[in-house]
Amino acid sequence: MLEKLRLLQKAMQAEKMARFMRRVSFGDLVTDRWENAREYGFGEGTSCYDNVLILGDVKVGRHSWIGPNVILDGSGGRLEIGDHCSISAGVQIYTHNTVRWSLTQGAYPPEIQSTTIGNGVYIGPNSVIAMGSVIGDCVVIGAMSFVNSSIPAGKKAWGSPARIVGDAAAGEP
Pairing relationship of beta strands 115-117 and 71-81 according to DSSP bridges: parallel
- The pLDDT of residue 171 is 60
* CATH topology assigned to domain 32-163: UDP N-Acetylglucosamine Acyltransferase; domain 1 (2.160.10)
The domain segmentation of the chain, as residue ranges, is 1-30, 32-163
pLDDT band at 17 (very low <50, low <70, confident <90, very high): confident
How many whole angstroms separate alpha carbon 66 and alpha carbon 91? Answer: 9
Q: What is the pTM of this model?
A: 0.88
How many whole angstroms separate alpha carbon 155 and alpha carbon 95? Answer: 22
Torsion of CA 135, 116, 146, 109, to 10 degrees: 150
- The pLDDT of residue 59 is 98
